[in-house]
Chain A
């Protein structure tokens, strides 16, 4: 078998890992910014499919199908995102005689439309959130009328939506018109379709989902629940399995509803049925079905011991599921945190740049790292900000969280800023620890600011010094603090923080040690402070102390004629502010023009020459007002 993974980053690597385990050949397709990416190196065959523009590469069905044909691909796994829920693409793959690792295209198509999905769910007896959605009925008045009947607060969202786009909330009839207009505009922009649905807005919603998997013989199994309530901007950050604190009847109801819905669709691969659970009542309502493997699938794998990609490949190639519902026996509790290149304290602003250092204790039992790279890599601005997923498995929820805390305290990722510190902080928040968070948690609880880099200077300086002391075999390399006096006051490393501020390390510094890694080649030092990675760079003193260019050369001196010449230009006038290097007079001598420049920044006091003047060597042409006299 030869599997092409039409995706990139960590998910491409994760899918290929299982394929390789099964003895399959793996084919990667990649866009030019990913030429050196780990997933490209992992693959047996790697096919370039275009430039950074998504439409040209990872969304380019033609190029991907060409690659399939050129390399004799027998199965295609779409990963998540990109073309994974594109029914047309799935159809073309199937028509090309290639096994599509996903549900049949009709299932994708029907679940891709919120309106169709609601209809199918309703028929399968899956509770729907009270609402109204009809692509044909979109006039303002009718929608407002339905909103009134459902009862406020009301959620207005794009019918073709996803990813949190095209969603607005109206708390009262007065807000409805605005919410509707905004949702439509965003829906049209994001999805090319401005149809919306209206539904009840749940004040304290939890996001709970059920993993299902079906085969081509009519079997649909559920593999348990997941809670993905910790979200920012409607994107999941933390996922766990099973969902905590569910009443037995809720839990049972969710799982049976998911299987009913799967069966109704003739579902024949891995999928996720998403629900919103009202934290106050335990009522649950159908949200949508994701007709693909999800980012958070590893938590289900951790507790069931199953390899979901393996099952996907099996059923996609026409095999029956190798187990029955009775054989699905979840053990313990698993938590996944998404490690994103973003700065939570700055409104989760995406970060791009190199990752030069990753230290994660993946060797510990029950710790899994699904990363786009293992040690170093680059986060480019073209793609998603998710760098990796870290999954821990414990015997129960408290154990899993405790292990996660300990793993995050032993984790460093730098110098790119990520949200690891946010995850560490989250574990200490009582609502999360008690399993009571709703999807609004991070909106209501601002992310903690990054720690003061000064706290990392001591450990970082010690790490740098320890390395220096260990370099070279001779005494000059090893006797770091040697002195014939009782003591010295050596100047340690100078460290530059993320904001460019400089910190002097003066040993010895007392205080407890923190997890620290130093890469002498790049000068990068990463220190774990409260679970955050603080990245510092060792700066050569010459650079640290280099003159500030804005005051280069100190006060401006006079500009004098270097040789006899004729003045041909006087661009600076008295009172003009000049920077060092600005031309103030141009003279001509020996048929050559010479620009005479300001030696430093300042204000022109006097221009003592005019055009056409002949000047002598050392004649003062322009004077300046000293800066400190201004």
Chain B
């Protein structure tokens, strides 16, 4: 493979302006992440109370479990952002992947300093998403349980539906049956439904003095039976480890529990992270030739001005080497092979609107990667599929559908990063959330909506006007309508709106992207080769 010849002029004023603008975006990301980690209304007091009881913060707990000097790939740090009066930083739950004795595990750790660890609808969504990541990537799950259970005022959004609380237990039971260890450390109260997280685990450790499990707590027991009992006598570590057997181990302190947990992980017979199964093409990793920090200057501060995705690719891949496929046809999508942290990937990236040729090229390329067993990486930056009489006459609907069908049926690991706009059916064809990529990350400049705010103003205002046929509409009313639509699309297209709702696995700094993808690819490489699809390569 040859190095991509970059044409970026890093000395230009445009580059400098873009760079300055992007750094502002990253600063905002960092500020908001910081609030998620330690901010939020009344959080200081609840953190202080938590620590004063000798308990550790959820992230520190994870650090104590994972191998020292190893990465932690955290998901959806800004889940819940700007929801619930911003009272649920990070949705009160920390999820991510880390190594224990060289073996990767998904961590699901309640943050008891957020709403007392009670679970909001978005908390459940984050919990379930982490379990789905575990299933797709063949990872055991470690539950660091310190939760007050469902947030009852919103019980209708938490309890009954398919991917609600019940879905998390359904997943837990089935993950275990797939040979993916489910391990719990009980660090707080696990009442009612919460009791099933440890109870459904393969092995359970309870920390004496803080961990409690009961289907009904002392108040319910008193109400139901008139029995008055202390919480520890009802469901403490001693009771459950020595009498009921709900717990397998008792630890005198959190540290002791984490030491025990590490010992347990060592006995789970899971593949180590460096145990590559050989079906993914791999070579010694090399850093990109071009400085990844130049991405900041390449992405236009004005989102109506496009940028060449190949310049981004050159700053994400090993040696900046990119073997472009079919470069002279369908050039609003670039396709080609490159390596990220040694693993070969097939990259599909937008360079604007998707025309029929681009859709067909992408379809062809997906088929190639499927045949060659090469993971796919989608870099989204599109306003969608082309419209207009020429496009319709050229069959854009069926050509776009080919791409969507190919993406949906590809069995090789798929990863998606929103590096710009993600509009309309482009989101689908480029492996949006609905298409179950293994991981989906977004950059802070990204936008996601059925269409851009500009287009929406025109389209929606026209539709509304059509609906008000005959009525008198003043210019003011039309302007107000336009403003309302623009406002809605601005708000809902905002990447923080998206990441808050876990439409992605996290907003990340472009400079962390190569490493995050490298970590994700390494997870796939230790799995067996996925079953092949038909593997036909049709020339489109």
Chain A interface (Cβ < 8 Å from any Cβ of B) = 464-465, 468-469, 472-486, 488-493, 540-548, 551, 553-555, 557, 599
Contact = CB atoms under 8 A, between A and B. Distances in A.
11 contacts: A473-B285, A476-B104, A476-B274, A476-B522, A478-B285, A480-B70, A490-B69, A491-B64, A545-B253, A554-B250, A557-B238
Contact of B71 (A480, A492, A542, A545): A480
A105 B73 CA distance: 78
Contacts of A464: 68-69
A465 B67 CA distance: 11
Given A473-B284, A474-B341, A488 B262 contact: no
B519 A482 contact: yes
B3 interface: no
Interface centre among B59, B72, B262, B284 (most CB of A within 10 A): B72
A540 B238 contact: no
Interface in B261-289: 262-263, 273-274, 284-285
B333 interface: no
Contacts of B258: 541, 545
B519 A476 contact: yes
B303 interface: no
3 closest cross-chain pairs (CB), A and B: A482-B71, A468-B69, A542-B259
Interface string B221-262: 000000000000000011000100000001111011011101
Interface stretch (B80-88, B359-367, B506-514): B506-514
A541 B263 CA distance: 10
B376 to A, nearest CB: 19
B515 interface: yes
B522 A485 contact: no
Contacts of B37: 485
Given A483-B74, A484-B509, A542-B260, A490 B63 contact: yes
B208 interface: yes
A478 to B, nearest CB: 8
A546 B260 CA distance: 8
A476 B99 contact: yes
A553 B256 CA distance: 11
B63 A489 contact: yes
Nearest to A469: B69
A491 B57 CA distance: 13
Nearest to B238: A557
A553 B516 contact: no
A167 to B, nearest CB: 54
A493 B68 contact: yes
B250 to A, nearest CB: 7
B273 A474 contact: yes
Contact of B73 (A478, A484, A486, A490): A484
Contacts of A468: 67-70
A5 to B, nearest CB: 47
Given A485-B37, A493-B68, 16 more contacts: A473-B284, A475-B71, A475-B285, A475-B515, A476-B71, A477-B273, A480-B69, A481-B71, A482-B72, A482-B515, A484-B73, A484-B516, A489-B63, A540-B259, A542-B262, A542-B263
Interface in B37-63: 37, 59-60, 63
B178 to A, nearest CB: 22
A490 B237 CA distance: 28
B332 interface: no
Contact of B256 (A492, A547, A599): A547
Interface in B491-516: 506, 508-509, 512, 515-516
Given A542-B260, A542-B262, A479 B71 contact: yes
A554 B238 contact: yes
B30 interface: yes
A17 B36 CA distance: 68
B252 A547 contact: yes
A486 B30 contact: yes
B256 A479 contact: no
A464 B68 CA distance: 10
B73 A482 contact: yes
A501 B269 CA distance: 33
A25 B227 CA distance: 91
Contacts of A476: 70-71, 99, 104, 273-274, 519, 522
B256 A546 contact: yes
Nearest to B72: A483
B342 interface: yes
A478 B238 CA distance: 41
Nearest to B241: A553
Given A474-B274, A475-B285, A489-B59, A546 B341 contact: no
B68 A491 contact: yes
A186 B519 CA distance: 72
B34 interface: yes
Given A484-B508, A486-B30, A546 B70 contact: no
B13 to A, nearest CB: 29
B405 to A, nearest CB: 33
Contacts of A540: 259, 262
B295 to A, nearest CB: 16
Contacts of B519: 475-476, 479, 482
Contacts of A484: 73-74, 77, 506, 508-509, 512, 516
Interface centre among A480, A482, A485, A553 (most CB of B within 10 A): A485
Nearest to B260: A542
A545 B59 contact: no
Nearest to B509: A484
B184 to A, nearest CB: 17
A602 to B, nearest CB: 13
A546 B77 CA distance: 32
B193 interface: no
Contacts of B259: 540-546
A541 B63 contact: no
A542 B99 CA distance: 15
A599 B104 CA distance: 35
Given A485-B77, A491-B63, A551 B68 contact: no
Contacts of B251: 547
A391 to B, nearest CB: 40
Interface centre among A475, A545, A548, A555 (most CB of B within 10 A): A475
A488 B72 contact: yes
B341 A485 contact: no
B238 to A, nearest CB: 6
A473 B342 CA distance: 9
Nearest to B71: A482
Contacts of B33: 485-486
Contacts of A543: 259
Contacts of B104: 476
A485 B74 contact: yes
Contacts of A551: 252
B518 interface: yes
A56 to B, nearest CB: 46
A580 to B, nearest CB: 12
A347 B516 CA distance: 56
A554 B250 CA distance: 9
A619 B515 CA distance: 60
Interface centre among A479, A481, A489 (most CB of B within 10 A): A479
B64 to A, nearest CB: 6
Nearest to A542: B259
A38 to B, nearest CB: 35
Contacts of A547: 251-252, 256
Contacts of A472: 273-274
Contacts of B341: 474-475
B255 A489 contact: no
B255 to A, nearest CB: 4
Contacts of B99: 476
A612 B465 CA distance: 97
A480 B60 CA distance: 16
Contacts of B508: 484
A491 B56 CA distance: 13
A416 to B, nearest CB: 27
Contacts of A557: 238, 242
B518 A475 contact: yes
